[in-house]
Amino acid sequence: MPIEFKLLKNKPLKIEKCPECGQKNPDYLMRGLIQRSKRFLGILWKRDYCLIICEKCKRDIGWESPENYL
């Protein structure tokens, strides 16, 4: 398991409603387990890198990163 899984496990999300299915305060699937590169175009620009998946509709709805690890 990546360290991001433990860091994001109990962290509240800024997303209050799923943009795909419209469910309010949905549960999220596999937080911190699906990741992309932290850098954009190989330069020093940092970006969110952990995928957020809605548990109800199983679609990706955004990206997040733990603040103390990025």
Distance of alpha carbon 58 from alpha carbon 11, whole angstroms: 20
pLDDT tens digit string along 15-37? 888 888 888 887 788 888 899 88
Cβ 32 vs Cβ 4: under 8 Å: yes
Q: Count other Cβ atoms within 10 Å, centred on residue 62.
A: 16
pLDDT tens digit string along 42-70? 666 778 889 999 888 999 988 988 876 54
Cβ-count burial 1-37 (b if 16+ within 10 Å, e if not): eeebeebbeeeeeeeeebeeeeeeebebeebbebeee
Q: Count other Cβ atoms within 10 Å, centred on residue 70.
A: 12
